[in-house]
Amino acid sequence: MDYLEGLNPQQRAAVLQTKGPVMIIAGAGSGKTRVITYRVAHLIRSGVDAFNILILTFTNKAAREMRERITKVVGDEAKNLWMGTFHSVFAKLLRVEADKLGYPNNFTIYDTDDSKSVIRAILKEMNLDDKLYNANFVYNRISSAKNNLISWQEYQQNEQIQADDFSTGRGQMGKIYETYAQRCYRAGAMDFDDLLFKTNELLKNHAEVLYKYQNKFKYLMVDEYQDTNFSQYLIVKRLAAINENICVVGDDAQSIYAFRGANIQNILNFEKDYPDLKVFKLEQNYRSTQNIVKVANSIIANNKEQLKKNVFSENETGDKIKVMRAFSDNEEGKMVAEGILQDRTTKGMKWNDFAILYRTNAQSRSMEEALRKLNIPYKIYGGLSFYQRKEIKDLIAYFRLTFNPADEEALKRVINYPKRGIGDTTIDKIILSADQHGVTTWDVVTNPSKYLDGRSATSVGTFGTMIQSFQVIAKNLPAYDAAMHIAQHSGLLKDLYEDKSVEGLNRYENIQELLNGIKEFSEREDIEEKGLDVFMQDVALLTNDDNDKNPNAETVSLMTIHASKGLEFKQVNVVGLEENLFPSQMSLNSRTDLEEERRLFYVAVTRAESKLTISYATSRFKFGTLISCEPSRFLDEIDPQYLELDFTARPAASANPFFNDERTAWTRNTNSGTKGPDSFSKPKPASQPVKTTSILAKAHVPSANFAPSDTSKLQTGMEVEHERFGYGKVINLEGSAPDIKATIFFKEIGQKQLLLKFAKLRIVQ
């Protein structure tokens, strides 16, 4: 048993407990993978046949790593383990048992694009309004139903679901779901969600199959149990029902996938399913410094729903956590990039020792541009580079075509996006005609009747006229105004806005971030020419990614916090710690959602080994307008003894013209209640630290009877209470319903302007 020698007492106890239900609560950096690996190895060394062990993971990477480690201990016997992701393991099981469900054993597995293609065909056949029945929305709705084990029959019979659908004008969803399920069945195909949905159906309706696998899988282990959804929970519970030799491993503090259907209650309530449960807590963090661990503990302590544990570290105390304040997102990127460059130079570190983590993909733009300006190599992890995302390339293709109509690649990309009735056949004719007559494709587009016939000539001509109008606009308007005009009148912005899926919202936000970048460019005072064509030249240089030429080169990692889970870096920068960004605006109406956002922050903090830096900006461009940003409430929750506040105002001028942006030297005046909501004041000189008491002041604690009032009768002079800003008096009302704005003077923070329909005010008197 030499493999047990390197384990601490808690790890060793968890490995040796092989019988009965076991829950291993594994804090961040506590050696979870080692415990799972050695526990499986110990089972095999103790005489358990590897064929009788089932290990379920959430990533193929985790499964491969575990199998490799187990092989080193027990040899080739590890090959006989049933190990893999939920979807891969149960796809294998379904291949064997598919005939019980009426499917062929060689059934096809549809990916997301396949599924959406089937849905689009169904929507077209049913002549449904694509504004209400967007393929992405329909796909997500069906996926959610399957993950909650709701069949199309149950969907149609559920009165609450039907009422919700009809209230939103989507009363045909049940029929679409039915048709989609039948179409897949007829094709002998299962989609990704079916792999779990059909497994549940199989185990529920075929007792002999359930009994077979209950006796086959005498020992079950589930990694990252906090991320299981209802469907996965039921499969595991059914399979473990006879032997109850089930071991789940996870950390409720790292449950961050509710948007995918993960249910934290599965781990919080695990003991209710197994009263004889033995619980082992892995609380020693081997990854991070003591200060980083203590900061993480102080953050997660604010969550009410959690399994209590005392995570600690015996590593060095380490540096305090630096909190940086920037005047804009561009300056935030600059500060982060300069910090990385300095630490690499002075500490002899490698580029891949550093990571930049953000809440949304759109935040990568300012980080990417800052890193490029300092020639710091980087790689977007778990996503595309900002300028390589489809929606960004689509809009940029419109810009390219506006300034160079002979750009054939740009023409092909956007001539039928958004759809305008110009199919592939017509596009092929345009290209063929241009080749035959020795002209450009643009010549064909602007003289369609000469080269094309019928309806296609009319559609192409309309497109050509639109691009010609863009050319006029681009010559006569500033960069941002021209870009916004093109985004709107091309139909691209409208198309993305109407896609209400999570992916659609992300794409829309990315387009807004590109427009924000153009807005910032147009307000720079260090350049004379500020046209959209000049911006395009800058973008062409920025998107010349040389990093791809050497995939083995060291790079700084950029990723969303969700993508960072399971990873670790010597130094981590967590950026954008601002209200309505992190925590996200959508999470503020629910304690459950807010607690998940806090767990997400906990995950970000615990990725760091030796140094953690947190930053936020006091202003950002949003939809082309400069807005004031408040520091995240999460900053207030960190024990201040572990923080180093870097709030020294920075001069605007810089040797690098990219950052010589005078706008970033202005910050919204949050310390004075006498100025209006849009007033700004210049910061103090760089030698004088800005006072921090009001910046990280504790949030207002709502009164016990706090509940938003009906503000339709709100009047000037009334006293109100806001959930975060506290008590104040209404000093002005403007606009008309539903967009009435109230200017309120709050006792603690001064004057604010709020949109009443979102403000959630309690009228005091």
Catalytic annotation, residues: 32-33, 223-224, 254, 607
Q: What does the alpha-carbon distance between residue 655 and residue 199 come to, in Å, rounded to a whole number? A: 62
Angle at 191 between CA 502 and CA 495, to 5 degrees: 30
Map tokens 């048992």 to a residue: 97
Among 226, 305, 221, 234, which Cα is nearest to 591's?
A: 305
Q: Dihedral, CA atoms, 147, 152, 155, 156, nearest 10 degrees?
A: 170
Helix (H) or strand (E) holding 323: strand 321-326
Q: Is 32 annotated as a binding residue?
A: yes
* Residues ≥6 apart with Cβ < 8 Å to 582: 359, 576, 597, 600, 601, 632, 634
Q: What does the alpha-carbon distance between residue 497 and residue 508 come to, in Å, rounded to a whole number? A: 6
Q: What does the alpha-carbon distance between residue 456 and residue 367 come to, in Å, rounded to a whole number? A: 44
Q: What does the alpha-carbon distance between residue 678 and residue 422 come to, in Å, rounded to a whole number? A: 46
Tell me the three state secondary structure of residue 339: helix
What distances in angstroms separate CA 88 from CA 36, 56, 91, 98, 236, one per listed residue?
Answer: 19, 9, 5, 15, 15
Q: Is 590 annotated as a binding residue?
A: no
What amino acid is encoded at 623 in this protein?
F
Q: Is 33 annotated as a binding residue?
A: yes
What distances in angstroms separate CA 271 from CA 30, 82, 265, 551, one per listed residue?
Answer: 22, 26, 11, 47
Distance from CA of residue 491 to its chain's centroid?
26
List the structure tokens of 251: 């950390």
Q: Is 566 annotated as a binding residue?
A: no
Q: What does the alpha-carbon distance between residue 40 and residue 45 come to, in Å, rounded to a whole number? A: 9
Asked whether 500 and 506 are in contact (CB, 8 A), the reply is: no
Q: Is 713 annotated as a binding residue?
A: no
Q: Is 31 annotated as a binding residue?
A: yes
Q: Is 29 annotated as a binding residue?
A: yes
Q: Is 50 annotated as a binding residue?
A: no
Residues making up the annotated binding site are 26-33
Binding residues for ATP are 26-33
